[in-house]
Amino acid sequence: MLFTKEMNKDDVILIVEDDAGHAGLIRINLERSGIRNKKVFFKDGAEILDFLCKEKENLFKTGKSYILLLDIRLPKIDGVEVLRHIKGDKELSIIPVIMFTTSSDPYSAQVCRKLGCLEYFVKPVNYEEFLNVIKRIGELMRGGLSNSIAALPDYIPPDE
């Protein structure tokens, strides 16, 4: 199921973050931003791919919707490879992916956008700035995700 104008209260947010401190801040501050949806945490790229491969069969049957908040620097399988796998899979490619990473490398951002990420946010070192970025992510989720894809200037749909 694709995201339409607004997130449904039943939509599940999948968060892939290997830093427990960052994971806690993300959870708390998404809730402070008004995002009360169920959140499921994963600590590495292999864990999220295993989950999605198992869930893939149920995506259309149950009508369950997901949004993925994905770090790049992850153990086992990095976030770019996770994104590449998701956007290269016909069923999984409908899942909106927001990158949230310490990597401010413009090349990484460009690669992620070309692969089909919805948005790319850099994790600031400063605590207040970190909270502001989480707030912006919350606003993006509340405001609707499907229209944001068209707003990305570098968005190139993945080859089918």
- Do 16 and 48 touch, CB atoms closer than 8 A? yes
- Gap between the Cα atoms of 96 and 104, Å rounded: 21
159 located within any domain: no
67 located within any domain: yes
Indicate the range of 14-18, 23-27, 30-34, 141-145 predicted with least confidence: 141-145
In one-letter notation, the amino acid at residue 60 is: F
User: Nearest to residue 60, comparing CAs of 127, 2, 103, 124?
Assistant: 2
Tokens describing residue 10: 């039943």
Helix spans in 17-145 (H): 20-32, 45-55, 59-62, 79-87, 106-115, 127-143
Q: Maximum Cα–Cα distance for the chain, whole Å?
A: 43
What's the pTM value of the predicted model, to 2 decimals? Answer: 0.80
Q: Give the per-residue pLDDT at 145.
A: 53
User: Left if phi > 0, otherwise alpha if psi is -120 to 50, otherwise beta: which for 74?
Assistant: beta
- Do 13 and 30 touch, CB atoms closer than 8 A? yes
The total domain count for the chain is: 1
157 located within any domain: no
The CATH number for 26's domain is 3.40.50.2300
User: Nearest to residue 149, comparing CAs of 138, 137, 139, 157?
Assistant: 157
- Gap between the Cα atoms of 93 and 74, Å rounded: 20
156 located within any domain: no
81 located within any domain: yes
68 located within any domain: yes
Domain of 118 in residue numbering reads as 12-151
Q: How many CB atoms lie within 10 A of CB 80?
A: 21
Instruction: List pLDDT tens digits, range 70-122.
Output: 999 999 999 999 999 999 998 888 889 999 888 888 899 999 999 999 888 88
Instruction: List pLDDT tens digits, range 22-76.
Output: 899 889 888 888 888 899 999 999 999 999 988 877 766 776 788 899 999 999 9
Q: Positive or negative CA dihedral for 151, 85, 49, 57?
A: positive
4 located within any domain: no
5 located within any domain: no
